[in-house]
Amino acid sequence: MSYVIEARGLVRRYPADGSPIRAVDGVDLVVEAGEAVSVMGPSGCGKSTLLHLLGGLERPDEGELRLGGVRVDGLSETRWAVFRRRNVGFVFQAFHLVDELTAVENVELPALLVGMGRREARHRALELLERLGVAERAGHLPDHLSGGERQRVAVARALVNEPLIVLADEPTGNLDSRATGEILRLFGELHKAGQAVLVVTHDARVASTADRLFTMRDGAIVGQTRLGADTPVAGLFADLADLGSER
Partner 1 sequence: MRDVILSLLAKEPAHGYELRQRLMRALGPAGGELNPGQVYVTLSRLERAGLVEASEVAQPSYPDKKVYDLTAAGRERVTRWLADVTWSKVAPLEFHLKLFAAADTGLADPVALVDAQRLELLRELRQLQELALREPPDSDGALLLEGASLRLQADVRWLEACQQHFLERESR
246 binds partner 1 (CB under 8 A): yes
**Based on CB atoms, which residue is closest to partner 1, 61 or 203?**
203
15 binds partner 1 (CB under 8 A): no
**CB 38 → partner 1: shortest distance, Å?**
9
**Based on CB atoms, which residue is closest to partner 1, 102 or 215?**
215
Contact call for residues 97 and 153 (beta carbons, < 8 A)? yes
Rounded to the nearest 5°, which phi and psi values hold at 163? -70, 160
Among 20, 42, 117, 139, binds partner 1 (CB under 8 A): 42
Among 88, 207, 216, 221, binds partner 1 (CB under 8 A): 207
Contact call for residues 52 and 33 (beta carbons, < 8 A)? no
Residue 158, Cβ neighbours under 10 Å: how many? 25
Rounded to the nearest 5°, which phi and psi values hold at 209? -85, -5
Contacts of 108 (CB under 8 A, 6+ apart): 121, 122, 124, 125, 160
43 binds partner 1 (CB under 8 A): no
44 binds partner 1 (CB under 8 A): no
**CB 8 → partner 1: shortest distance, Å?**
25
Please list the alpha-helical segments (H only) found in 1-46.
none
| Dist CA 157 CA 162 (whole Å) | 10
Please list the alpha-helical segments (H only) found in 67-221.
77-87, 103-113, 118-131, 147-159, 177-192, 204-207
**Based on CB atoms, which residue is closest to partner 1, 78 or 177?**
177
Which residues ranging from 139 to 198 are in contact with partner 1 (CB under 8 A)?
Answer: 177-178, 181, 184-185, 188
81 binds partner 1 (CB under 8 A): no
Contact residues: partner 1, CB under 8 A: 42, 177-178, 181, 184-185, 188, 203-205, 207-209, 213, 215, 217, 223, 225, 227, 229, 232-233, 236-241, 243-244, 246-247
